[in-house]
Copies of this chain bind each other. A is one copy, B any other.
Amino acid sequence: MDTLFYLPDPELCACSEVQLQGQEAKHAARVLRKKVGDIIHLANGMGCKATGEISAISKQSVSITITEKEAKARPVIQKVLGFGVIKKRDRFEFAIEKAVELGATTICLFDAERSERTRINKDRIDAIVQSAFKQSGRWWMPEIVTKNSLSDVLLDFADHEVIMAHEKKEVSANDFNISKSALLLVGPEGGFSQNEVETVENAGGRIVSLGEHRLRAETAVMALLSQFLFTR
């Protein structure tokens, strides 16, 4: 598996010479001990991937001459994960890593009524997303958005199809087809409140079950996103 370096330059696919700096440069030069002449793969998280040859290495940066590049348009159907913040940090961070791998295009973290934790370490989340982005070979880096309540989330994605996973929904084989961008809602440890369920129902959202077993919040994130693996 080729290591992918993250270079958030919107013009990457228009450049012939670029420079890695900061952590990514350090990782290339000191950790992986890349040398002048070595081949490097880059992604800007905005639809462009490039391959280049290292032309120079200094203490602060790695210069690369681009030899190949390819761009992909942003997916027409966006899959927005709306996830009620959960308390257990390892499970919370695991869910975010997996959401990136499983194709969420935006991750919207919000205080659900039963969320017990409200402070989010944005830097840590960004690092997890960046790492999973590189690992999964995606073209577009998911955006992270934070909101204060489910109502705020619904407002922000008002033009999206809304699908809410809810434990109390009777189990049946659900229809997970979407024809436009969708907001996929998963609640915190205690699930969504009745009030939140009604809010989604009143907004015309679909309430779905994720099968007959009780899933932890982070498992529900993965199970729900997995229903849309082939939706592009």
Interface residues, chain A, with chain B CB atoms under 8 Å away: 1, 94, 98, 101-103, 135-138, 171-174, 190, 210-216, 219, 222-223, 226-227, 229-230, 232
Across the interface, do B230 and A102 meet the contact criterion of CB distance under 8 Å?
A: no
Report B-chain residues with C-beta under 8 Å of the C-beta of A135. 214, 216
Across the interface, do A211 and B229 meet the contact criterion of CB distance under 8 Å?
A: yes
Kindly identify which residue among B173, B215, B226 contacts A223, using a CB–CB cutoff of 8 Å: B226
Across the interface, do A136 and B215 meet the contact criterion of CB distance under 8 Å?
A: yes
Report B-chain residues with C-beta under 8 Å of the C-beta of A232. 212
Across the interface, do B101 and A230 meet the contact criterion of CB distance under 8 Å?
A: no
CA distance A107 to B232 in the complex (A): 31
Tell whether A230 pairs with B174 under 8 Å between CB atoms, given A101-B215, A211-B103: yes
What 7 A-B pairs come out closest when comparing CB atoms? Answer: A226-B226, A211-B229, A173-B230, A136-B213, A137-B214, A222-B222, A223-B226
Across the interface, do A210 and B229 meet the contact criterion of CB distance under 8 Å?
A: yes
Across the interface, do B229 and A102 meet the contact criterion of CB distance under 8 Å?
A: no
Q: List 12 A-B contacts (CB under 8 A).
A: A1-B190, A101-B214, A101-B216, A102-B213, A102-B223, A103-B212, A137-B214, A138-B213, A222-B226, A223-B229, A226-B226, A227-B229
Nearest CB of B to A217, in Å:
11
**What is the chain B residue whose CB lies nearest that of A75?**
B212
Across the interface, do B94 and A1 meet the contact criterion of CB distance under 8 Å?
A: no
**Residue picked from A190, A214, A232, most chain B C-beta under 10 Å:** A214
**What is the chain B residue whose CB lies nearest that of A227?**
B226
Kindly identify which residue among B98, B136, B138, B174 contacts A222, using a CB–CB cutoff of 8 Å: B98
Nearest CB of B to A142, in Å:
11
Report B-chain residues with C-beta under 8 Å of the C-beta of A219. 98, 101-102, 222
**Residue picked from A103, A173, A213, A227, most chain B C-beta under 10 Å:** A213
